Amino acid sequence: MQTNNRKVKMMYLILKEIKLSDTSIYNVVSFTDNLDKANDMLQGYNLIEKEKNNVVYSIVKYEQPLLLTKEMEC
């Protein structure tokens, strides 16, 4: 599949999951396009978090969806 020579932008999202009794709430607390920085940020959030029992931080890799151009249509 052609991407029109467009560089696909990849982002790393830092998610905060708050675990409740019957469900979870997710928030994006930060983002970056640098994996090393994302790992550093994740460590930082884990270090400062006070409620360790019901809060979990994680990294999610997000790739921008491809946009099809007129040439790609059948």
The pLDDT of residue 58:
97
| pLDDT bucket at 5, cuts 50 / 70 / 90 | low
pLDDT at 57 > cutoff 80: yes
pLDDT tens sequence across 25-47: 999 999 999 999 999 999 999 99
2 pLDDT higher than 50: no
3-state secondary structure of 24: strand
61: closest CA among 41, 16, 31?
A: 31
pLDDT exceeds 90 at position 7:
no
Stated pTM of the model: 0.73
The tokens describing 62, both together, are 């997000």
